[in-house]
Amino acid sequence: MTGWSQALSGANGQMTAAPSEAAPDTPTFIGNRGLQLEEKLLFEQDSPGHCGVDLPAPPPHRSRLGGLERQTPIGLPGLSEPQVVRHFTRLSQKNYAIDSGLYPLGSCTMKHNPRLNEKVARLPGFADLHPLQPVSTIQGALELIETLAHWLRTLTGMPAVALSPAAGAHGELCGMMTIRAALTAQGDPRRRILVPESAHGTNPATAAACGYEIDPIPNDPRGRVDLTALKAKLGPAVAALMLTNPNTCGLFENEILEIAASVHEAGAFFYADGANFNAIVGRVRPADLGIDALHLNLHKTFSTPHGGGGPGSGPVALAASLAPHAPLPWIVHGEGGRRLIEHTEGSATQTIGRLKGFHGQMGMFVRALSYMMSHGADGLRQVAEDAVLNANYLRVRLAGALSQSFPGACMHEVLFDDRFLKDTGVATLDFAKALIDEGFHPMTMYFPLVVHGALLIEPTETESKASLDQFADTVNALAARAKTDPASFHAAPRLTPRRRLDETGAARKPLLRWRPEPVRQEAAE
């Protein structure tokens, strides 16, 4: 057993706890290094009595709380305005971002967010909209939403698009719920979803959240779905196949037409995870591949910023058979212009209902449409081609030093595993930490789970040849050093404000808020 099913059963064992190390000795008096200042928590900077604003004492007033007023100070740190400004500015400077440099996280697609999108999203006519405004005053916003849906329908070839889901995983939920609604309406609810081992963890999690049993499909030696295994598992209990294409190994599922035909023959739906649409936008229309439902991550393909669980946007494109179940609200045209269907009524009697307040993430819609219109259809195709070209350039430049997991050309991301580190005592994690010392954000590590010690690299289309070369030179040099000086990797990163952390401890026993010292000790125990 490999892949996410193994991880879910707790047998993965690839991610080991990193040793905690004390901060290195520093030659400076107070811990600052260069102009990188050591930052204390706001509570640790507390100077009682300090305040950023001078407010006059409140006039005497009669209590209306029946003696329930707080009798003790609220316990906030006393800070002046400059202290607060410096604190947050210094924290922001410690943040690494796509605006700082190359961000080669595979699967996460950290692509440049064009400033034009930001400018358009900040136009007061969009930014100052209130979701409860009368529909007659938001006709322009509704037109924008419809125009975006039109672009997405055109690019996917699918007849309907639901825009409200707030993230890729939310889009998966929407798609699965429409499939469940369609099967239930047919009187054939079915209970099982087939999910390839290489899938993003959100796929099986979403299907399980919808009440389905999950049945994993192995990969074949080429890193694609094992068609024979898939066909063997198809049957009357299968509600849908959830397939990512291009898949999380960065490969196009080139048997997809046969896969679609087999799924349909078994009376099941074909759900596609379209989070990697940035590799094929403008080149392939998912509808032509036989897909019935597919979510798109606007934050991956159409350059809206990542939202850390939201506010992202994960629209779902639906085939005609699923469209009647699309979530509310629906925009329809009437005599007074556009209006909204917000309840199960009229043509929307089979909808799955609301998934999200109002229309979804309006700011993301504006950014995504701005990106699409500024590129045009041919420009979007060029984006996909350049993303694939850049990934393949890195693939070739790193091929001599790293071990590529599956032979041949890749799509928008390239997958390596840790065979190149065999017998060095250096693990994928050590390698990634050493990259930080060289000034590069690491690639995605240990995902997908179908290969051992994965390193998944996605450069995106906006990196220049010079920046790709600098990255490739560094990775190649580190790979050579792993053979001659493995010990240096175990201490990495050495140049960061904090050394290697106990990542398992941080995930399992997180300390998420400041507490006075004695309480903190107790929480850690």
Ligand X SMILES: Cc1ncc(COP(=O)(O)O)c(C=O)c1O
Minimum distance from residue 105 beta carbon to ligand X (Å): 9
Which is closer to ligand X, CB of 247 or CB of 428? 247
* Tokens standing for residue 379: 């420009």
Which is closer to ligand X, CB of 94 or CB of 112? 112
* Tokens standing for residue 239: 């509600």
Which is closer to ligand X, CB of 198 or CB of 403? 198
Minimum distance from residue 384 beta carbon to ligand X (Å): 16
What distance in Å separates the CA atoms of residue 492 and residue 388, rounded to the nearest whole number? 31
**CA dist list (Å): 216 to 176, 253, 457, 515:** 17, 17, 25, 44
User: What are the E-state strand segments in 284-349?
Assistant: 293-295, 316-318, 330-334, 337-341
Minimum distance from residue 278 beta carbon to ligand X (Å): 10
Which is closer to ligand X, CB of 39 or CB of 172? 172
Cis peptide before 516 (omega within 30 of 0): no
**Binding region for ligand X (CB under 6 A):** 107-108, 167-169, 200, 202, 244, 248, 273, 275-276, 297, 312, 314
Closest residue to ligand X using C-beta atoms: 168
Minimum distance from residue 236 beta carbon to ligand X (Å): 28
Minimum distance from residue 208 beta carbon to ligand X (Å): 15
Written as one string, the DSSP assignment of 154-198 is HHH--SEEE----SHHHHHHHHHHHHHHHHHHTT----EEEEETT
Minimum distance from residue 254 beta carbon to ligand X (Å): 18
Minimum distance from residue 367 beta carbon to ligand X (Å): 15
Q: What is the CA radius of gyration of the chain?
A: 26
Which is closer to ligand X, CB of 305 or CB of 324? 305
Q: How far is CA 153 from the centre of its chain?
A: 22
Which is closer to ligand X, CB of 224 or CB of 500? 224
Written as one string, the DSSP assignment of 448-515 is STTSTT-EEE---TT--HHHHHHHHHHHHHHHHHHHH-THHHHT---SSSS----HHHHHHS---S--
455 strand-pairing partners? 416, 445
Minimum distance from residue 174 beta carbon to ligand X (Å): 12
Which is closer to ligand X, CB of 8 or CB of 340? 8
Which is closer to ligand X, CB of 312 or CB of 324? 312
